[in-house]
Homo-oligomer: A and B are copies of this chain.
Amino acid sequence: MKFRDIVTRSRSYRRFDTSFRLDDGQLADLVELACYVPSSRNLQPLKYVAVSNSESCADVFGCLSWAGYLTDWHGPVEHERPAAYLVMLCDLEIASGAACDSGIAAQTILLGATSMGLGGCIVASVERDRLRSVLGIPDRFAIEFVLALGKPVEAVVIDQMREEGDVRYYRDAHGIHHVPKRTIEEVLQQFR
């Protein structure tokens, strides 16, 4: 797949075929990608917990909130829930914060998932204390994000957004998820 196709096909998917399970090898392949990415001062404070069995997935799911703009949707139904998670941690003995590393690593993992025919979503709305308890995460680690992963079953389309337009994504009457994105004309600036 061309790189541009990987980027455009890598949407934030929130509905999956739960019966399509990811194995630990696939999760390790995704984490391995993150071992090669740039890191501020090369400190590499990010660490990961892989969650793939059904019971642990249910525990993690209970700690997440979904799609803030879809106020009448409370997350995927049981057979459309993520089949696996990567919980991204910052090792506080290495760095006091993840700086830009978390975005670099999360996007690399999501693009990697897309290149493998999978998909995912960066979930930042996490009940962190509860998740810490569920997975036994020591205080030494801050919880950055949860990456939800699986075989996507939803259609996501990108709509070109008008300047000053509405950034809120929405679902249309056919259940298609629309995401307004700024155009290059708005994003590429020239001041001189």
Given A100-B102, A138-B191 in contact, is the A43-B107 Cβ separation under 8 Å?
A: no
The distance from the CB of A129 to the nearest CB of chain B, in whole angstroms, is: 15
Q: A41-B68, A48-B189 are known; give 11 further A-B pairs, CB within 8 A.
A: A3-B3, A3-B111, A7-B108, A10-B36, A35-B187, A47-B188, A48-B188, A49-B188, A100-B102, A103-B103, A103-B106
Q: Interface size on A (CB < 8 Å)? A: 72
Question: Which residue of the partner chain B has the closest CB to A179?
Answer: B42
A103 cross-chain contacts in B, Cβ below 8 A: 99-107
A176 cross-chain contacts in B, Cβ below 8 A: none
A interface residues (Cβ-Cβ under 8 A, vs B): 1-4, 6-8, 10, 12, 28-29, 31-38, 40-44, 46-50, 68-69, 89, 99-108, 110-112, 115, 121-122, 124, 135-138, 141, 145, 158, 167-169, 179-184, 186-192
